Structures are given as C-alpha cells and as structure tokens.
Amino acid sequence: MSMRPMREIMVQLLATVMIPLTVAGTGLYYTRWQQNLSDLKTMIDLVSDENSEKRKFGIAMLEYLLKNDKVPVEFVAAQLDYANSSSDKQMLPLMEAALMKASDENAAVAETFRKALERLPSRLFVHAMTDQQRACIATMLLSLKDADRTQISVPLIAQVNWDGKQHELRVLKDSDMERGQAIANMFGALGLELKVINLTTIWEGAKKVRPNTFELWFGDAPLPTVCGGSAQPVKSQ
C-alpha cells in the first residue's frame, strides 16, 4: 500500500471521529448556554417579584450564579441599578452582601462587581461637625454641574466629633483612588479643599466595604465662599 492512500485513509478516519465530537461539543455548549439564559431569567424574575421572600430567594440565586461565573457584568450592573432605585430598602444591602460573599469565593466576581459599580453613582458618606458644615454639603451638591451631580449619591450626612484640622476625602479601595481624586477635584473647584486619604492599608474595616464608596470628613479648615466661608476654589490635581 502506497503512502498516499494511507494518508487518505487516516484523514477519513480522523474526520469520522472528529465530526461527531465537534457536533456533540457544539450541542453541549448550546445546551449550557440555554440553561444559563434560563437561570438568569429566573433570577431576574425572582428579584423583581412583588413578594419580598421571592426577592430574597432571587438574591440568593444571584450569589450562586456569581460564584459559578454565570452572570455577565451587564446583568450585575442592571440588578444593582434596579436595587438602588427599589422601594424595598433592604434589597440593595442584601444584593451587595451577596456580591461580597461571592467575591470571597471567586476572585473574578470581585472584578465584575467593581466594573458594575463603576456604572453607578459613587456613594459618598458625609461626616460633619457643625450645622454649618451640614448645610454646606447640601449647598455644594446643588452647585455642582449637572453631569457631576449625577455621579454622586449621598445616602447619609452624620454628625461627628473629631480633631481633624483638614477636610478629608477617604478612599476605601485601592482601585478607587483615581475616582476619589476626581471627586476631590470636583469639590475643590467649589472651594472645598479635600486631602485624599487611602484607608485600604490603614483601616481593616475597609475590606468589608463595597467598591466605589467614599467618606467626606469635614475638619476645622475654612469652608468655601459658596457656603459663606473664606476658602477659594482650588486647581484640579
């Protein structure tokens, strides 16, 4: 037998084996793809259900799917946006807790979570020592450009006592430093000079805080002129 017929026979044998395997592999991929879509739809239906217990089950299902790399960034962002605007005030904390737990078991989820949160307004928790400072943050938020104002959400303005001499913008994740500086520049343009402090390696509790979360601490430094103080707008860094 010559080498050429032998080669032709080998090609035919390989084709006979590989074609069914390729078809089977394609079918398996398609089946899994359909199952993933079905799981996502079920999760979305549960999370948006009027029954609070079903919503909690949907969030638990979201955590399971996240741990198994079955939720794309777009879905995470959409679910967080939905939870953020939901009348159920427990939904967002529960969903964030599910994402944090999934992040502990699947490193890829942490990156998905971070990217999803980048699409939402940054959370800024404000700490003020005086009523004047509390009024000042409200005035400055109204004075921001429309595009800048939509990038920040202020869920809490707390009354505190501390011995800080400067105003601080505290960043809780290394990955948020650039965004933190942008927020500081935003307020600096109105005259509130903020010292950007990275708490990632300073405060152990920072590990338990979701990405894209910041804290603004008013110190004893002057307030900006827009708030009746003497501090002038500062140049962006």
Determine the residue type at 192: L
Report the pLDDT value the prediction gives residue 31, as an integer from 0 to 100.
52
Three-state DSSP class for residue 69: coil
The whole-number pLDDT of residue 26 equals 45
Please, is 143 exposed, middle or buried when counting C-beta atoms within 10 Å of its C-beta (0-12, 13-18, 19+)?
middle
Helices (H), the chain: 3-47, 52-67, 73-85, 91-105, 107-117, 131-143, 146-149, 177-188
- pLDDT number for residue 235: 62
H/E run at residue 198 = strand 194-198
- Count Cβ neighbours within 10 Å for each residue of 159-178 and write b for 16 or more, e otherwise: eeeeeeeebbbbbbbebbee
Q: Which helix (H) or strand (E) holds 124?
A: strand 122-128
Nearest 5°: phi and psi at 211? -60, 165
Instruction: For residue 196, give its domain range.
Output: 122-227
Please tell me whether residues 99 and 137 are part of one structural domain: no
Domain boundary among 117, 142, 159: 117
| Digitized pLDDT (tens) for each residue of the chain, 237 residues in all | 455 566 565 555 555 555 554 544 444 444 554 666 688 788 878 888 888 888 888 888 888 888 887 877 777 777 888 887 788 878 888 888 888 888 888 888 888 888 888 888 899 999 999 999 999 999 999 999 999 999 999 989 999 999 999 999 999 999 899 999 999 999 999 999 999 999 998 888 888 888 899 999 999 999 999 999 887 776 655
> Mind giving me the DSSP string for 159-191?
E-----SSEEEEE--GGGHHHHHHHHHHHHTTT
Do 74 and 137 sit in the same domain of this protein?
no
Q: Do 31 and 134 share a domain, yes or no? A: no
In a domain? residue 207: yes
Per-residue pLDDT, 9: 57
Q: Are residues 10 and 104 in the same domain?
A: yes
Q: Pick the closest to residue 225 from 217, 234, 237 (CA basis).
A: 234
Residue type, 94: L
Of 94, 117, 140, the residue at which a domain comes to its end is: 117
CA angle at 147 for the pair 135 and 76, rounded to the nearest 5°: 100
Same domain, 113 and 188: no
